[in-house]
Amino acid sequence: MPFISLSFALFFTILAILYFAVQNLRSRDNFVQQILLLAASLVFYAFADLRFVPFLFYIVALTYLAGRFCKNRLMLAFFVIADLAPLLFFKYSHTKWIFPLGLSFFTFQSVSYIADVYTKKISAEKNPLTVALFVSFFPVISSGPIQRAGNLIPQLKATHTFDYDNATDGMKLFAWGMFKKLCIADRIAVYVNFVYGNTSDCSGLALLLATVLYSFQIYCDFSGYSDMAIGCAKFFGFDVGKNFDHPYLSKSVGEFWRRWHISLSSWLRDYVYIPLGGSRVALPRIYLNLIVTFLVSGIWHGSSWNFVIWGLLHGAYQCAGRALKPVLEKAKIPAFIKIAITFCLVTFAWIFFRASSLSEAVDVIRGISHVPADVISLISLKNTLGVKDALRTTFALTDSAFGGFSGMAKFLAVLLPFICISIATRNTNGLSLIRRQNAVVRWAFYIILCTMVTGSLTTNTNTEFLYFAF
């Protein structure tokens, strides 16, 4: 069930009324609210496609059984392989079957539970209802944040009463996520899809602009989804963690991965990097561990060579960052230059993530290499066509891509304030910042935000989240 839909609005409203209506029906482990949440989660998931439900049931059953009966390494290997089998089949068998929604996310969630029970970080959950809800919790089942049992299960067992601050903060997060998705990501998608779909006809400057904008598209799309998911959970009193923390303001690629898709990067650290030896081994082995960890990240995203190269690039970035750290610290490079370099490195890697094939990625890189010549051509076009038409032609600002030159100008009027807000909230919580403002400023911000979101709802058609594909 898409977050941005009338069906979800109806679903959420009915669930909220029922969930808090039964808050006074005290029971062991909050049985009544758990049953209600589990039923709602199954309805939410089945709404996507009833054919997906058996795979969810399979992971739930396996997770519960593994927690109760995984006693040695052989059994651990068996349960983990059995857990990963559906994911590996759908991702890498190249069948024409529909990929079950959220399979990657709730499978990783299940694996973490099995591993944590085996290593005795947590106790095995004896209540199958709680395990089922842990795996299928509706706000995070589609695209995370990936949950850890030690954090979520105690919350599932607690009784949640209506809290005004949780409810309003949740609604604010949800609205902010919708803004990022509808007003930024979906607008960028039209232009990026047009340019990447016509690489041979577009100039290097257009390809460069599309690539830079894709960095913002994927961030606003995925972090927008995460904000909505976190906001939904917060409304009901659940803390499911932060998934993004201003990643494009990072001063190194290592810092970027501590701020980007935090639930996945921490999962890879805890269940891939550290078991391989982490940083407790000799330096060559550390580099190998980094490469393998990011290779796993690339393969998790997809089976094509594009994702393999994307993962290997980030592994190489990490190794280079570690090797050059002493030199860079002595150089005392200004923070803004470090941020710019990190953004360029990450954006270059996104080319392989966005391109539909390895050959398309190569075409994009080859096209961007022609940027100096395109700048000279732009100057010549300016003299013959005028500034406006020269920019429109060079950057492929057609009516079907961004709504032409005026469409790009309107979009920049939205993107630039968003960037300023992101910088302003780098070291402070956005909810706390807006709460500190006087009523006039707060409500002006709310009205503008809701107006922009509502306007985008009536004009945008692309509301599919990018990470639903993973």
| Residue numbers annotated as active site | 301
CA distances in angstroms from 12 to 37, 40, 225, 233, listed in the order given: 11, 9, 16, 11
Check residue 98 and report its DSSP letter. P
Q: How many residues does the chain have?
A: 470
Residue with tokens 């919350």, as numbered in its chain: 155
Instruction: List Cβ neighbours of 239 (8 Å cut-off, separation of 6 or more).
Output: 151, 155, 233
Asked if residues 306 and 355 have their Cβ atoms less than 8 Å apart, the reply is: yes
Q: Can you spell out the DSSP letters for 92-149?
A: HS--SSPPPTTHHHHHHHHHHHHHHHHTTSSPPP--HHHHHHHHH-TTTTTT-PPP-H
At residue 404's C-alpha, the angle toward residues 246 and 382, to 5°, is: 100
Query: For residues 136 and 106, is the Cβ–Cβ distance under 8 A?
Result: yes
List the alpha helices (DSSP H) in 332-399: 335-354, 358-368, 371-385, 387-394
Give the amino acid at 313. Answer: L
| DSSP secondary structure letters along 385-397 | H-HHHHHHHHTT-
